[in-house]
């Protein structure tokens, strides 16, 4: 496998009996993901498409040895769902839920600091290792196995980028949607580190966006430690300052949050910059060819 999810993933879905939870569980199963359990308090003993439902994450883990949790719990309760999964020592937690209160995530992150647990999201499309496991809401048909990792703050743009890569004959090792909220679990820098250490990944496509300084932090990691080529696109070049564009975290406050500042930092760190979303595939193919990785 590559990073986070793969053939050895034993998936548990928190909120499996809800409309979105049950729908996406079926899509994960159709893709080939090994879904072993679901959790909805008060619904223990039921089943969704032969997947057993438990009242608590601890009960589900004890019965099924689940090692990854996918969360479709409503926003007011999503942070508690993350903490419940962490209390059950779930090594990978992927929270799709949008609109999780910022202070809830601040408390959850503080609680989990140093735990060794990986959290992806919230407000993210999830993670997919093509041909092995789909954990989230990504459309599996555009992905193909290969050696290019993908990191994205945007859900829609990761689908577009991957469709272009696949059309250009460039397969993906794993694709990670880190999420677009101001406070998330795994940052782009942490995702870059995972890919940098992964022997199955030869290069990384990084899709950032306006707001915050995550791209500048990623640029510093690329400059100082990244041993693999990075191809980067930053969304929001025409966004006006002070206006939120889509994600809660996509708002320009100060010069550092602009698309140009992020592009400049990444270019100075040695990343190949893509100026248009329509060129992600062709620029990546050219960059790989120049390095003998095509």
Question: What's the pLDDT score for residue 236?
Answer: 73
Question: What's the pLDDT score for residue 128?
Answer: 98
Least confident stretch, 119-133, 179-193, 244-258, 261-275: 244-258
Question: What's the pLDDT score for residue 90?
Answer: 97
Model confidence over 215-239: pLDDT tens digits?
999 999 999 999 999 999 998 775 5
Mean pLDDT of 267-291: 95
Please choose, from the candidates 15, 138, 156, the residue with its C-alpha nearest in 3D space to the C-alpha of residue 76.
15
8 A C-beta contact, residue 169 and residue 147: no
Q: For residue 282, what are its two tokens?
A: 């062709």
Q: How confident is the model at residue 182 (pLDDT cuts 50, 70, 90)?
A: confident
242: pLDDT strictly greater than 80:
no
Question: What's the pLDDT score for residue 254?
Answer: 53
Mean pLDDT of 7-12: 98
Q: What is the mean pLDDT of the chain?
A: 92
List 134, 228, 247, 262, catalytic entry: 247
Residue 273, SS3 per DSSP? strand
Domain 1-122 has CATH 3.40.930.10: no
Partnered with residue 39 across adjacent β-strands are 14, 54
Sequence spans of domains, the chain: 1-122, 139-294
Q: What's 265's DSSP letter?
A: H
8 A C-beta contact, residue 21 and residue 72: yes
Gap between the Cα atoms of 196 and 182, Å rounded: 24
Report domain 139-294's class.
alpha beta
69: pLDDT strictly greater than 60:
yes
Question: What's the pLDDT score for residue 256?
Answer: 67
Gap between the Cα atoms of 17 and 271, Å rounded: 43
pTM: 0.94
1-122 and 139-294 share one fold: yes
Question: What's the pLDDT score for residue 249?
Answer: 47
63: pLDDT strictly greater than 60:
yes
Percent of the chain with pLDDT over 70: 93
H/E segment holding residue 177: strand 172-177
Question: What's the pLDDT score for residue 252?
Answer: 47
Question: What's the pLDDT score for residue 246?
Answer: 52
Partnered with residue 14 across adjacent β-strands are 39, 71
208: pLDDT strictly greater than 70:
yes
- What is the per-residue DSSP string for 73-138? --HHHHHHHHHHHHHTT-SEEEE--S---HHHHHHHHHHHTTS--EEE-SSS-EEEETTTEEEES-
For the question of residue 247 being annotated catalytic, the response is: yes
Question: What's the pLDDT score for residue 188?
Answer: 96
């Amino acid at each position: 496998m590559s990073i986070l999810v793969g053939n050895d993933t034993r998936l548990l879905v928190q909120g499996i009996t809800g409309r979105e939870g049950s729908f996406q569980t079926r899509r994960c199963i159709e893709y080939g993901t090994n879904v072993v359990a679901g959790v909805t308090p008060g619904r223990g003993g039921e089943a969704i498409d032969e997947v057993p439902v438990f009242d608590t994450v601890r009960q589900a883990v004890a019965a099924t040895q689940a090692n990854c949790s996918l969360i479709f719990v409503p926003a007011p309760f999503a942070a508690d769902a993350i903490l419940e999964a962490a209390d059950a020592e779930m090594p990978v937690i992927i929270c799709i839920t949008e609109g999780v209160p910022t202070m809830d995530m601040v408390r959850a992150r503080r609680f989990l600091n140093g735990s060794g647990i990986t959290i992806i999201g919230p407000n993210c499309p999830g993670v997919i290792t093509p041909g092995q496991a789909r954990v989230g809401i990504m459309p599996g048909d555009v992905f193909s196995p290969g050696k290019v990792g993908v990191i994205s703050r945007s859900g829609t743009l990761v689908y577009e980028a991957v469709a272009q890569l696949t059309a250009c004959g460039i397969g993906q090792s794993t694709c990670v949607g880190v999420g677009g909220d101001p406070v998330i679990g795994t940052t782009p820098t942490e995702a870059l580190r995972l890919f940098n250490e992964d022997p199955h990944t030869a290069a990384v496509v990084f899709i950032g966006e306006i707001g915050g300084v995550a791209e500048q932090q990623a640029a510093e990691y690329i400059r100082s430690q990244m041993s693999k080529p990075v191809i980067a696109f930053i969304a929001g070049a025409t966004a006006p300052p002070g206006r939120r564009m889509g994600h809660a975290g996509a708002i320009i406050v100060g010069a550092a949050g602009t698309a140009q500042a992020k592009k400049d930092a990444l270019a100075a760190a040695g990343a190949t910059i893509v100026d248009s979303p329509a060129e992600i595939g062709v620029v990546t193919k050219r960059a790989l060819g120049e390095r003998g990785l095509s």
